[in-house]
Structure 1
């Protein structure tokens, strides 16, 4: 087994780069291949069968490139397709992501919790099971944000367009909200706009850190860690294939949240 083989990251577009960044911070010696399916973004408004097919095609590409593990760095794809992908690829670790509802509950004593996610993520049984298991005593406000992924995919996360969208969507949010869970990997790139609207006293959580740490544990448990010590490589691929989307992807990798 060649432990220098890359770790594959898949997302419906550029959002999963927020998870990739955290993984690179924790596992800098690893090699990575990131594949974003921006051609078919967003996934959050598609039916389950379509999401499963597109996710499977993306994972196929990463496995064909020799990846030793795969991270489904997309909440919608995880909700709709993770079980299918794990059944298909039993020989390699497949790590998904879920909204960071548990950390939000454990880190705040009272108040409401606002979950921002795609329509598909919020309706899937995996999210409702998560709410039932970790948030029985807290009031959860579920808010889909259709259209926000498209704004971020166009690189408008730093512009007034994304702020105006969020201001309209979040302007009437209950003032008793104490925590915000970013249930889409695209949304960390507009975190500052969310705080600008809701106030800095609101705590914001996303699943990047938990997913990256779980990846590290699984690789260690399976003796798959790259021994290093050199810093690994990062290859960015995208189904859209335009210079603009690849430039945006590299910018987000450097920018962070």
Structure 2
């Protein structure tokens, strides 16, 4: 084992702070690893930008991580994964890059021939990557799309349980109440509002996100590449943000410790 090589950190990034939901799952599964989280709050939300813009923003962050000598990267953003993951893997073939996708498969397996609502940004829902995923399961479930880009803004402001958030969620979820079996949270910001979503759709509705799956994939790639850090070590987490306002780092730490 190359101790020095394996002690390098893992880079995790998102269009803002939502990816901290993925970071938490990674730290839970791999508490011995060192992580650098980069939130691009200055350019959030990615979900309303063009594919080209999201790709360039993502590439800039990956180059920043490469300069930090990371050993792996997690694109903790469904939108950035859709727009940039394939190209970035081709450009950095020696760097393990984990992406996110809506947890549609677990929702399909949860209940046969069920009604599934996928909440995500507009860009994620219209990209080929999601639509190809959706086509794989469309004969096994009734899958509905719900663009909820404004929910990103609530989380970016740290509003995860406010009356205004619940009012917004009630408005967009109203047409589906009593008609769905599962809700797939297809944006890494959305798990921070999962409690409020569950409250509105009811306890009998299965609410799921892709963060645990991404954490497992990261661990698999580390094991495969013999990149794991000493299991007895205690990992660290460092937060960076494109927005220079110190409040962004404070909010990042608060969301991480929820």
Q: TM-score, with normalisation over the residues of structure 2? A: 0.96
* Residue 137 of structure 1, CA deviation: 2.4
**Conserved? CA contact 1:163–1:193, under 8 Å:** yes
Whole-angstrom distance in 1 between the partners of 2:193 and 2:90: 34
Residue deviations 1:93-133 (CA, integer Å, cap 9, x gap):
01101000000001112320000000000000000110112
Q: How much does 1:91 deviate?
A: 1.3
> Aligned equivalents of 1:241 and 1:225: distance in 2?
32
Stretch of structure 1 that moved more, 105-114 or 121-130: 105-114
Structure 1 residue 159, shift from structure 2 partner: 1.4
Which residue, out of 117, 122, 127, partners 2:125?
122
Contact 1:116 1:184 in 2 (8 A): yes
Runs of 4+ aligned structure 1 residues displaced above 2 Å come to 134-137
2:209 to 202, 206, 211: 206
Deviation of 1:174 after TM superposition, in Å, equals 4.8
Matches within 5 A, 1:54-73: 54-73=57-76
Asked if structure 2 preserves the Cα contact closer than 8 Å seen for 1:110 and 1:178, the reply is no
Query: C-alpha distance in 1, partners of 2:162/2:91?
Result: 41
**Deviations 1:179-210 (Å, cap 9, x if unpaired)?**
00000000000001101111011001100010
Answer whether contact 1:18 1:253 (CA < 8 A) is retained.
yes
Counterpart for residue 53 of structure 1: 56
1:1-257 matches, cutoff 5 A: 1=2, 2-255=5-258
What value does the CA root-mean-square deviation take over the aligned residues? 1.0
**TM-score scaled by length of structure 1:** 0.97
1:105·1:135 contact (CA, 8 Å) conserved in 2? no
Report which stretch shifted further, 132-141 or 175-184: 132-141
CA distance in 1, matches of 2:210, 2:188: 8
**Measured at CA, do residues 33 and 148 of structure 1 come closer, stay the same or move farther in structure 2, by a change above 3 Å?**
same
